[in-house]
Amino acid sequence: MRLAVTTTLATFALLTAAPSGMADPAPAPAAAPAPATATATAKPPQQCFRISDWNGWRAPDAKTLYIRVGLRDIWKIGLAHECGMLRSPSTHLVTRVRGTDQICAPIDLDLSVQDSGGFTEGCFIDSIRPLTPAEAAALDAKNRP
């Protein structure tokens, strides 16, 4: 078996080596790189808000929060699962910021809901983004923070 492997390897080496009298074949032309477009390589700017600019919230359902940031901006916070206490009338939000006071991604904010009796429910954030002006204008009055 060892002899067959050695013979096969030697044959392969002879076949792949170029004879000394022959010129190397011309290399294949390299494919021209595709032109880069600005939209393909550019990332959208990271959008953040300061926790101190948070001015109120509304929950249209148990998986969505709309928060007002500053005077005009409205952000949507999507939750990974239903946070049942979110819709109760006697609850308030408990927020803890991880790191600086800039909220840019779900990992930056730890969110819980607490009722008047002291019971707390954790609400795991799945997504966070600002609404476009058209989306904000489409919110009805009872869901607008």
CA dihedral (43, 98, 125, 137) in degrees, to 10, reads -60
pLDDT tens column, 35-52: 555 455 555 556 899 999
**This prediction's pTM:** 0.67
Domain spans, the chain: 49-143
Give the whole-angstrom CA distance, residue 137 versus residue 144.
Answer: 9
pLDDT tens column, 82-102: 998 988 888 899 998 877 889
Structure tokens at 18: 């170029």
Strands in 109-115's sheet, in edge-to-edge order, are: 91-97, 109-115, 120-123
Q: Is the pLDDT of residue 17 over 60?
A: no
The rounded mean pLDDT for the chain is 79
The DSSP line for 2-23 is HHHHHHHHHHHHHHHSPPTTSP
H or E stretch at 85:
none
CB atoms within 10 A of CB 14: 9
Q: pLDDT band at residue 80, thresholds of 50, 70 and 90?
A: very high
